[in-house]
Amino acid sequence: MRTLALAAMAVILPTAATAEPWSRAYVVDWMEPAFFHGGPKDENPAPGTDCPKGTAPPHGWKKVLKTRWRKDADIAYYMDAENRPDLQRVLRFRGPNYENVWEQPTLAPDLGLPPVTGKIAYGFNLDDNVKTGGFSTPEGVPGIDNGYYRAGGCWASYRGQPYKSQRGVGINGYMRDGLYTVLIVMSGNKDPMNDDDVTFAFYQAQERIMKDALGQVARDVSFSVRPDLRTQSIVKAKIVDGVVETRAPAEIRFRDEAWNLRMPDQVQLIGGRLRFQMKPEGGLEGYVGGYRDWKVIYRKQAVNGRDGEMNQGIDMPSFYYALERHADADPDPKTGKNRRISMAYRLRAVPAFVLTPDSKEVVSVPRVFDGKPASQLAAATATPAQ
User: 199-221 pLDDT, tens per residue?
Assistant: 999 999 999 999 999 999 999 99
What confidence score (pLDDT) does residue 379 get? 46
Distances in Å between the Cα of 139 and the Cα atoms of 121, 142, 320, 352 are 10, 9, 31, 31
Beta bridge pairs of residue 346:
32, 287
What confidence score (pLDDT) does residue 105 get? 96
Q: How confident is the model at residue 371 (pLDDT cuts 50, 70, 90)?
A: low
Q: How confident is the model at residue 68 (pLDDT cuts 50, 70, 90)?
A: confident
What confidence score (pLDDT) does residue 17 get? 52
**Is residue 375 scored above 70 in pLDDT?**
no
What confidence score (pLDDT) does residue 1 get? 40
CA–CA gap between residue 318 and residue 64 (Å, rounded):
10
Task: Give the residue with greater pLDDT, 22 vs 370.
Answer: 22
Amino acid at 220: D
**Is residue 125 scored above 70 in pLDDT?**
yes
What confidence score (pLDDT) does residue 369 get? 96
The three-state secondary structure class of 4 is: helix
**Is residue 89 scored above 90 in pLDDT?**
no
Amino acid at 79: M
Mean pLDDT in residue range 276-285 = 98
Mean pLDDT in residue range 306-323 = 86
Mean pLDDT in residue range 273-282 = 98
**Is residue 183 scored above 70 in pLDDT?**
yes
- Identify whether the C-beta of residue 90 lies closer than 8 Å to the C-beta of residue 65: yes
pLDDT tens figures, 257-277: 998 888 889 999 999 999 999
What confidence score (pLDDT) does residue 372 get? 62
- Identify whether the C-beta of residue 211 lies closer than 8 Å to the C-beta of residue 21: no
What confidence score (pLDDT) does residue 126 get? 98
Torsions phi, psi of 241, nearest 5? 50, 40
CA–CA gap between residue 241 and residue 330 (Å, rounded):
35
What confidence score (pLDDT) does residue 69 get? 83
What confidence score (pLDDT) does residue 90 get? 86
Calculate the average pLDDT of the chain: 91
Q: Return the DSSP state at 265.
A: -
